[in-house]
Chains A and B, each alone.
Chain A
Amino acid sequence: MSVLDVRGVRKQFDDHEVLRGVDLSVNQHEVVVLIGASGSGKSTLLRTINLIERVDDGQILLNGDDITDPGMNADSARSRIGVVFQHFNLFPHLRVIDNITLAAREVHGMSKADATERAMTLLVSLGLGDKARDYPDRLSGGQQQRVAIIRAVLTDPELLLLDEITSALDPQLVGEVLDLVRRLKTDGSTILMATHEMSFAREVADRIVFMQGGRIVEQGTPAQIFDSPQEPETVQFLSRVRH
């Protein structure tokens, strides 16, 4: 059974159709990378999966549970999914350690001591141990984004959504964030990510999904998509980004 099953999802803002029937599944321990131009629907798809946007049609199943069912508790569905945003969205009034342990303590009922211990282990292993008591604005962008990732994975979510997490970073800081994503893949996380970093997508993805105009145009292994794309739209997009 797949961790995520998106079935015929549609989303419309006013009279602009952003998602025109998307079908996508993500298997356990799989890393699926969404590529496509801005406005192709990647971010909106991630937002509907996280129930930030309500679907206008179709279904989203998380490990078999229909999270688009109105009877489903949206908060508990969101708590099973980790999300990392382009602009980090750390809480500026909370220290790094409190940012990371907030959901564990307030949503998952973990004791403060347990949550802190877990968080510190992760921070130290990433060389951020001395930042635990700092406020986020003291950290560099790369450090903030890595803290945001730790915040998202601390409670072992069933699925991790990464929405262009390196797009707001200076080029020399992108590497440290991508290193952490590589590590999450090695550790067996199930990841659905949107990115503009094509070489990283090629390296880390088990499957590449190319979106355009709110539809999935083509998907396959990185070799299939990057080396021998079948659809003319894919060919055109790749020729532009490689340029």
Chain B
Amino acid sequence: MSTSTSTPSWRPSELELSRRNVRRRATGRSVLIGIVSTIAFAAIVGALIVNTPGWASVKASFFNFEVGAASVPSILVGLWLNIQVLFISAIGVAIFGTLLAVTRSLRGPVFFPLRAAATIYTDLFRGMPLLIVLYLVGFGLPALDIFPRMPAMFWGTIALILTYSAYVAEVLRAGMEAVHPSQRMAARSLGLSHAKTLRIVVIPQGVRKVVPALMNDFVSMQKDVGLISILGAVDAVRAAQIQVAQSYNFTPYVIAALLFVAMSWPMIRLTDWLTARLAKREQIGGVV
């Protein structure tokens, strides 16, 4: 489809060749300006930071190579816990979020109580800070003494699922509502039940429309798994905290931060790539 990358079957005219020349020179100039300005900006910011009065002590307490290197193994062990929690939470959110979205889209007076309950739920959990949900779930639920003793990571996972399902449900619902009603009508006309219409026709199309938003929520959850440390789970953040306490040096926090960024980076790039691909498929914008 794209005209600029495929090899044409004709020889470009002089006019087209001269136009390409102009564009190439302009692009080259822009790239050069971009590189130079980026280096200059980085140099200025770097120089400003290095010349602050406290830089020497900040450098010693946040960027100490030996302390950092020594902390990596235990932080990695902690990060593995974060990854496990993230994996289970993502599956839980996918299931519970979809259930919530479907419940909120039910029609008819019979379903009013269910619909209302789902609406109140999403309102509540989107409004409540995750930190407070973690405290309530992590310290409140076990205190009821009706659950067997569970590790902190279990309650942390539950809290993450409860909060993120509310966000994901809203995103999914928006996607489902963006599917044209004529699709629903065509499916029902074939004799498909409401449930099958949702499962086979509406949800698959709705999810496709909100993939970038869903992946954005996933990236956000990737860093929020670090909050389970407040319940005492020894995850990457907690492991870094322990190292900090032992060395009186903050470098382990920086290491943990870098590891979290490294963990989310592939997903962030994938989201960008997918979004760009979707935009390209639409092909409506042309060169604008």
- Asked whether A and B interact, the reply is yes
List residues of A whose CB falls within 8 A of some B CB.
50, 52, 75-76, 78-81, 83, 85, 87, 89-93, 102-103, 106-108, 151-152
B278 within 8 A of A: no
Interface size classification for chain B: 10 to 19
B158 within 8 A of A: no
- Measured CB to CB, the closest approach of chain B to A80, in angstroms, equals 8
On whether the beta carbons of B190 and A103 are closer than 8 Å, the reply is: yes
On whether the beta carbons of A83 and B200 are closer than 8 Å, the reply is: no
Say which residue of B186, B188, B208 sits within 8 Å of A93 (CB atoms).
Answer: B208
Q: A92-B205, A93-B205 are in contact. Are A103 and B191 (CB under 8 A)?
A: yes
Chain B residues with CB under 8 Å of A103's CB are: 190-192
Chain A residues with CB under 8 Å of B204's CB are: 93
On whether the beta carbons of A85 and B182 are closer than 8 Å, the reply is: yes
Query: Whose C-beta in chain A lies nearest to the C-beta of B190?
Result: A103
- Measured CB to CB, the closest approach of chain A to B31, in angstroms, equals 36
On whether the beta carbons of B183 and A91 are closer than 8 Å, the reply is: yes
Q: A85-B182, A93-B205, A93-B208 are in contact. Are A106 and B189 (CB under 8 A)?
A: no
Q: Which of A50, A78, A81, A85 has the most CB of B within 10 A?
A: A78
Say which residue of A87, A92, A93, A151 sits within 8 Å of B190 (CB atoms).
Answer: A151
* CA A92 to CA B200, docked complex, whole Å: 12
Say which residue of A79, A89, A91 sits within 8 Å of B191 (CB atoms).
Answer: A79
- Measured CB to CB, the closest approach of chain A to B120, in angstroms, equals 31
Question: Chain B interface mostly helix, strand, loop or mixed?
Answer: helix
Say which residue of B182, B192, B201, B208 sits within 8 Å of A107 (CB atoms).
Answer: B192
On whether the beta carbons of A89 and B200 are closer than 8 Å, the reply is: no
Q: A79-B191, A107-B192 are in contact. Are A91 and B186 (CB under 8 A)?
A: yes
On whether the beta carbons of B182 and A89 are closer than 8 Å, the reply is: yes
* 1/0 contact string of B186-213 vs chain A (CB within 8 Å): 1111111100100011001100100000
* CA A81 to CA B189, docked complex, whole Å: 8
B99 within 8 A of A: no
* CA A4 to CA B208, docked complex, whole Å: 40
On whether the beta carbons of B191 and A107 are closer than 8 Å, the reply is: yes
Q: A92-B205, A93-B204, A102-B200 are in contact. Are A78 and B186 (CB under 8 A)?
A: no
- Measured CB to CB, the closest approach of chain B to A106, in angstroms, equals 6
* CA A185 to CA B121, docked complex, whole Å: 55
Chain A residues with CB under 8 Å of B190's CB are: 78-79, 83, 102-103, 107, 151-152
Chain B residues with CB under 8 Å of A52's CB are: 185, 188-189
On whether the beta carbons of A75 and B193 are closer than 8 Å, the reply is: yes
* CA A89 to CA B192, docked complex, whole Å: 15
Query: Whose C-beta in chain B lies nearest to the C-beta of A148?
Result: B186
On whether the beta carbons of A87 and B191 are closer than 8 Å, the reply is: no
